[in-house]
Structure 1
Amino acid sequence: MSADGELNLSKEEKTLKILLDHWVDHNKSHEDGFKDWIEKSKSMGKVKTAEFIQKAVEAMENANEMLIKAKENM
């Protein structure tokens, strides 16, 4: 988006762009912790738990892709 386009955004649109970036960063900040707990769960013999945490990581990655696309389409 050009600088002129940025100037034409409403306050709510600017806020939404900031929030979209924040949500992606926030989700990414949790991924490393989740991945650590996948391994810890496995070492405790909680394989099913690890599988569900892995699915949560994948869902967050998919959510991030959608949030990035949302921002690209503003």
Structure 2
Amino acid sequence: MCSGGVDVPRATMLMVNLWPLNNDPEFWEDPTKFKSELFEAVKRRMEVEVHPLLSGRRQWPTASLAMKMMA
């Protein structure tokens, strides 16, 4: 398989570095500052901007439980 001009051998484990995605000022206002108010609303709508639990057949088995616990 070829991705971005790089040959990736079959059965190679690829890992995604989520730090740059979660700390990109293009998407997040002041990404390096902790904002406790984001966690204070007990019944806030669950809008997922970036979903680290994946989806489809590679979905994390307990993703729905994790999302309920975070609500």
- Class of the TM-score when normalised by the shorter of the 2 chains: under 0.3
Q: TM-score, normalised by structure 2?
A: 0.28
Which structure shows the higher strand fraction?
2
State the structure with bigger RCO (CA 8 A, min sep 6), 1 or 2: 1
Q: Which is higher, the Rg of structure 1 or of structure 2?
A: 1
Which structure shows the higher helix fraction?
1
